Amino acid sequence: MTEFRPSRFQILPTVVKNLLIINGLVFLAQNTLNSPSFNIDDTFALHAWQSDLFKPWQLLTHLFMHGSFSHIFLNMLALWMFGSVLENVWGSKRFLTFYLICGLGAALMHLLALSYEMMPLMKDYAALFQEQALKDPMEHNALIRFLQRYHVFEDPDGIIKALQTQPLDPVSAAKIYDGITNYYQHAISGATLGASGAVFGVLAAFGYLFPNTYIYMYALIPVKAKWFVLFYAALEIYEGIANSAGDNVAHWAHVGGALVGLLIVITWNRTNKKTFY
């Protein structure tokens, strides 16, 4: 069998329909309710747990937020295409449980990856201010190393040259350290948002349950679901390891969601080998 055609298929089952509505309403709120006194992304998007903006509820609320129209459109399209099949097979309660657990797993994977990526910055930042507090005579060298490693200012070479040729006066020192602090706070407080982690869990489950069902890439190229899923999983792992400059995609969240989704569906199907198509 190469395609999945259940006998009582709902085009828009209950949970998928409500997820589409909730995501749409939240996206509307993101673009209408922000004000100088309240930033919805700061409150409900996911932040690194080292950030002052982190709140426990963000592990789930970030799943219903998106950064652009294309972001929400692609996620909701994938949710409808693959999630509708799973909800028809499992029922609404089981599908909702699956979706939320995948989203939570994706968030935790992303936070672990963030902690690893930010470890050098956090270590260097703590060491720099420790040397400042101790009035360490090597403070200048530590400051120069920090500025060389991280792009804190628009003209780091000019500041570094000044540090190398003259003592650091109190006013200039205060400005430099304030700039470094602002850079650090911005670096650890970046917002992560989107349903992609949970959607990748849905995609992984679909590929596992219906490996030979054809998916039409770009509406033209037929590809079996198992190869489609493996290709995207490999791509996300590669992109996560490469960690290219300027890449703001949470690749490890995608990998985490897919991994959690795969583990769940394998567990649920240990005693039922007849759900493969």
Average pLDDT in the 20-47 region? 90
pLDDT for the residue numbered 219: 59
Q: Which of 28-32, 98-102, 170-174, 206-210 has the highest mean pLDDT?
A: 98-102
Average pLDDT in the 152-172 region? 71
pLDDT for the residue numbered 132: 59
Chain centroid to Cα 101, Å, comes to 15
Average pLDDT in the 208-229 region? 79
- The CA-atom distances, in angstroms, between 207 and each of 25, 73, 213, 232 are 30, 21, 8, 11
Quick one: pLDDT band at residue 213, thresholds 50, 70, 90?
Answer: confident
pLDDT for the residue numbered 245: 46
Return d(Cα 83, Cα 90) in angstroms, integer: 10
Both tokens of residue 43?
């409150």
Chain mean pLDDT for the chain = 83
CATH topology of domain 14-116+192-268: Rhomboid-like fold (1.20.1540)
pLDDT for the residue numbered 7: 47
pLDDT for the residue numbered 272: 62
Of 97-111, 119-133, 164-178, 205-219, the one with minimum mean pLDDT is 164-178
Check residues 178 and 1 and name the one with the higher pLDDT: 178
pLDDT for the residue numbered 15: 96
Average pLDDT in the 215-237 region? 76
Residue in the structure block whose two tokens are 């930010």: 118
Indicate whether 137 pLDDT > 60.
no
Indicate whether 58 pLDDT > 90.
yes
Average pLDDT in the 207-212 region? 90
Q: CATH 1.20.1540.10 spans which residues of the chain?
A: 14-116+192-268
pLDDT for the residue numbered 276: 47
Torsion of the alpha carbons at 108, 114, 115 and 118, rounded to the nearest 10: -170
Whole-number CA gyration radius for the chain: 23
User: What percentage of the chain reaches a pLDDT higher than 70?
Assistant: 83
Q: What is the per-residue pLDDT across 65-121, written as a single tens digit (0 to 9) for each?
A: 999 999 999 999 999 989 999 999 999 999 999 999 999 999 999 999 888 888 888
pLDDT for the residue numbered 104: 95
Return d(Cα 146, Cα 137) in angstroms, integer: 16
Quick one: pLDDT band at residue 167, thresholds 50, 70, 90?
Answer: low
pLDDT for the residue numbered 100: 96
Average pLDDT in the 214-241 region? 76
Helices 196-209 and 225-242: crossing angle in degrees, nearest 10, is 140
pLDDT for the residue numbered 273: 55
Average pLDDT in the 196-221 region? 85
pLDDT for the residue numbered 211: 87
